[in-house]
Amino acid sequence: MINENDKLSKFGRRLLEVANKRGCGNTGAMVHAIFYNTECRRIVKIREHKDYKNPFEEKEAIRRNIQNHLTSPKYDNVWKVPSQYMYAYSVILDCSIDYLYGKTDIMSSDLGVVDICQKTGLSEDAVNCLVANKIEMNDEAAFSYATWWSELLNDDSFFYIPMSWLDYARRIVEINDLNRRIEAVERASAETVNEGLDIVTRLLLNDDNQKTLKNIRKDKEDTMLGAHHKMMFCIEHFLNQYADEWAAQQHPNFGEMYYKSEINKRKVLKEYEKHKEI
């Protein structure tokens, strides 16, 4: 396994990131992938006249080059990485060459995924998740996660849910900052002596200061609870509304079907009564 604590070049850090993401985070795995990919193996043999006596020599040459790309300061300048290897890395790691060159943070070589990420601001993982969970709606009874999110995001919920979450999260930040400040005051009070200070200064530094901060924290906690209630109400409102809309669209013909069933049932009973009389 390539150690992330090793001295890596700028390109090496980027290569390591995508290699780990693709489950190929060691030089041996990359050597194996390049060697057994016919096209990659051919193009990385820069010295075409070199005839390796055995596969080990060829693999070792590839390994040295990969290790060099990972660790040599020379490759802080990404453009110095040989284009043959840059292409090979993009193939074996299914990765965008633009990502390897540091021109984008999107690893995917799928131009469709790249386009969606760039247009929407969604992460690559989010787009891949949506694509992977898309269900062809040939069956009306099928439930699609992607469609569920799509419908929910069509409404005002796209703005109101994240904004209510942000308001609540900011309250948590305020509480955390106050806790850090109170802790700092307590540590400073425990580590220093206030002797020799005038009474006003001592009052500013003693427990009254801590009590003031704790009172402020209590008020902040109340506002945080209010923000939490608002956030949960917002989420509940939109989810309930969407559930009602979705439920209303299910089995629209069942009413007529039930009606016809009841009519047929009554006809059968009526015929049965007639036969009994005969």
Same-domain check for residues 18 and 96: yes
CA dist list (Å): 90 to 73, 81, 172, 192:
21, 13, 42, 59
What is the predicted pLDDT for the residue at 81? 92
Q: How confident is the model at residue 186 (pLDDT cuts 50, 70, 90)?
A: confident
Same-domain check for residues 90 and 169: no
- Determine, yes or no, domain membership for 1: no
What is the predicted pLDDT for the residue at 182? 83
Q: What is the pTM of this model?
A: 0.62
Angle at CA of residue 37, ends 33 and 40, nearest 5°: 95
Instruction: Write down which residue in 75, 101, 127 finishes a domain.
Output: 101
| Other Cβ atoms within 10 Å of 191 Cβ, number | 7
Largest CA distance in the chain: 118
Q: Which domain, by its residues, includes 201? A: 159-250
Do the beta carbons of residue 54 and residue 63 sit within 8 Å?
A: no
Query: Higher confidence at residue 140 or residue 104?
Result: 104
- For residue 22, the SS3 value is coil
pLDDT average, residue stretch 167-192 = 85
Residue 108 pairs in a beta bridge with 95
Say yes or no to pLDDT of 140 above 60: no
Separation between Cα atoms, residue 32 and residue 26, nearest integer Å: 10
Same-domain check for residues 97 and 175: no
- Determine, yes or no, domain membership for 61: yes
What is the predicted pLDDT for the residue at 120? 87
- Determine, yes or no, domain membership for 74: yes
CA dist list (Å): 65 to 26, 71, 106, 182, 207:
13, 10, 25, 54, 64
- Determine, yes or no, domain membership for 118: no
Return the H-helix or E-strand segment holding 95. none
Tell me the pLDDT tens digit for each residue of 207-262. 556 678 888 888 888 999 999 999 999 888 888 888 888 888 888 888 888 888 88
- Determine, yes or no, domain membership for 277: no
- For residue 217, the SS3 value is helix
Same-domain check for residues 173 and 243: yes
Q: How confident is the model at residue 165 (pLDDT cuts 50, 70, 90)?
A: very high
What's the DSSP call for residue 8? -
Average pLDDT over the chain, rounded to an integer: 82
Say yes or no to pLDDT of 195 above 70: no
In order, the DSSP letters of 171-200 are HHHHHHHHHHHHHHHHHHHHH---TTS-HH
Say yes or no to pLDDT of 53 above 90: no
End-to-end C-alpha distance for the chain, whole angstroms: 91
Q: How many domains does the chain have?
A: 2
Same-domain check for residues 94 and 164: no
